[in-house]
Amino acid sequence: MTGTGVRADARIVARADGRGGTALPVLDGEGPLALRRTRAGGTGARVMVVGAMSGPLGGDRFTLTARLEEGARLHVGSAAATLALPGQAKGEARYDVRLDVADGAELHWLPEQLISARGSDLYVTTRAELAAGARLVLREEQVLGRTGEEPGRLTSRLTVRVAGRTVLDQELSYGPGAPGGWDGPAVLAGHRAVGQLVVVRPDFADRPVEGRMLGECAALIPLTGPAALVSAVAPDALRLRRVLDEALGDLG
């Protein structure tokens, strides 16, 4: 920890163990990014991110990377929601996630919600690089403010590349100082929970999903390449999760 905030890095490497399972030769976290392997069924490994400290706070810099080698299967979740808070250090906090998935590997990246508390300022980036034969299920959920609270400033950028080709690159910004209209009828329309679900499967290249609305506040969008996006808003985190879970079930 320095006068400008906390620096924390965590790394996961998953590798097929040659016996039909998945080994974790690297599972290394520090400070607020503690990593724990938990029991998993089937051939995959399961890791939980356990928040050992509050944050991210103002000025903090968190980096979490996961690399899956050929044939590995990994499920990553978190033990609780991530709460972005104001801190004593001035300036924006950053949380960077980097995912690298090789041919024949499969990653389920399903953390709990990110909550933007009043007075916080967080820029979060998630970048996934997939080989042509990789599979991915990635969920992002943001909650703007705790109950009865105005949100902090939150900017989220999500980039997904398959075989060197960008299939999704979007940036969303909410809260004080964000571009005008973020809470208007064309964006959130008063909702306080927003989420994205990205599914990448090689078979989508030959049989792409069909775009459609999923109720009043969610849409299934085919992406260029073997990928699909579900984008949704909801009044609260519980209803947002329900919409995304139902969409994932529909996608198989």
Q: Is the pLDDT of residue 98 over 90?
A: yes
Prediction pTM value: 0.94
pLDDT band at 3 (very low <50, low <70, confident <90, very high): low
**Per-position DSSP letters for the chain, written without gaps between them:** -BTTB-EEEEEEEEEE-SSSSEEEEEEE-BTTBEEEEE--STT-EEEEEE--S--PPTT-EEEEEEEE-TT-EEEEEESS-EEE---SS-S-EEEEEEEEE-TT-EEEEE---EEE-TT-EEEEEEEEEE-TT-EEEEEEEEEESSTT----EEEEEEEEEETTEEEEEEEEEESTTSPTTTTSTTTTTT--EEEEEEEE-GGGGTSPPPPEE-SSSEEEEEETTTEEEEEEEESSHHHHHHHHHHHHHHH-
Check residue 156 and give its pLDDT.
Answer: 96
Residue 179: pLDDT band (50, 70, 90) is confident
pLDDT over threshold 90, residue 91: no
Please give the average per-residue pLDDT across 131-156, as a whole number: 94
What are 24-40's pLDDT values in tens digits? 999 999 888 999 999 87
Domain coordinates of the chain in residue numbers?
13-251
CB of 170 closer than 8 Å to CB of 157: yes
Phi-psi region of 18 (alpha: psi -120 to 50; beta: other; left: phi over 0): left
Do 234 and 217 meet the contact criterion of CB atoms below 8 Å apart? yes
Residue 182 burial (CB count, 10 A): 16
Q: Give the pLDDT score at 234.
A: 95
